[in-house]
Amino acid sequence: MTSTSGADPRAEVGLRAEVGLRAEADRQTQADLPAGAADPVMRFAALGDSVTLGIGDQMPHGGWRGWAALLAGSLAPPGQVELCNLARSGALVRDVASEQLPLALSVRPALASVLVGVNDTLRGKFDPAAIAADLESIVAALQHAGTVVLTASLPDPGLLLRIPASMRRPLARRAHEINAALGQLAVRYDLVHVDLAACPEIYDKRMWGVDRLHPSERGHRMLAGMFAARLAERGMPPLAPPDPEPANPEPSTWRQAHWMATKGTGWMVRRSRDLLPGLLQLALAEWWHGWRGPGTGPEPGREAD
């Protein structure tokens, strides 16, 4: 069972209906089990954005696979693990809390992953306190339901995009604030946490697709392997760790160019309207303080207090 991209509202309705039917079937299965018997199927709910949706790991026959599917396939024999991928392209933390979390709880997963936050760093409006509160509500609700929760810190989006340092620094600060919240939650709730921000291999260009925002197949495999290793440390070893080497041919130059022309360009236009004005203002403030020195006056566009 996989999620839709969120582009078609009818597909979203279909996803909700499918999850509802699955939840009802799960309840019936539980009712049919003998008292005290364990459910023979491990359910894994994957919450998040386009990375968890699998974008960047395209299969030869079409469609996306991604790290969550690779991890699920390593956890149990076929037929004994069920992936419920609720991720949506472009999702923000608040979207996961309001839309994906209720669907995840309805299927009563044994495992749930929450990988989200990059899109929040790339929006004009950024509220770290609200983001931290939403993240806590997500992990607390899942853990209260008896679910083992997987999380990961964010890589520096500015380094991934290879933008000028004056623009990269504000993005890095945003990612750091989200990572600080995730790190605190990982300790408070004893989460299965992967610290991607501290992994230098994540910035290897082979790990990323042509848009520099979505992992390549190799990158998805690395992420699946890191989660498998952390689960093994918690006494939940996979049957076999995900193979780190790609199994599919690398996308051709033409295919990558076609993706950027049909998908990537639209994303860049949307972010130019939303993020770019604010990012330019932040970059100007960086330059202003660097040129004038700290404590020399208000930032451009702001009055003195």
Residue 178 to residue 96: CA distance in whole angstroms: 15
Tokens of 174: 């945003």
* Beta carbons of 204 and 158 less than 8 angstroms apart: no
* Beta carbons of 146 and 107 less than 8 angstroms apart: no
Domains annotated on the chain, with CATH? 9-250 (3.40.50.1110)
Could you tell me the pTM of the whole model? 0.76
Q: What is the pLDDT along the chain (305 residues), one digit of tens a residue?
A: 443 333 444 444 445 545 544 544 454 444 454 444 456 899 999 999 999 999 989 888 888 999 999 999 999 998 999 999 999 998 999 999 999 999 999 999 999 999 999 999 888 788 999 999 999 999 999 999 999 999 999 998 777 777 777 778 888 899 999 999 999 999 999 999 999 999 999 889 899 887 767 899 999 999 999 999 999 999 999 988 899 898 876 665 655 555 555 555 555 545 445 555 656 666 666 566 556 555 444 434 433 33
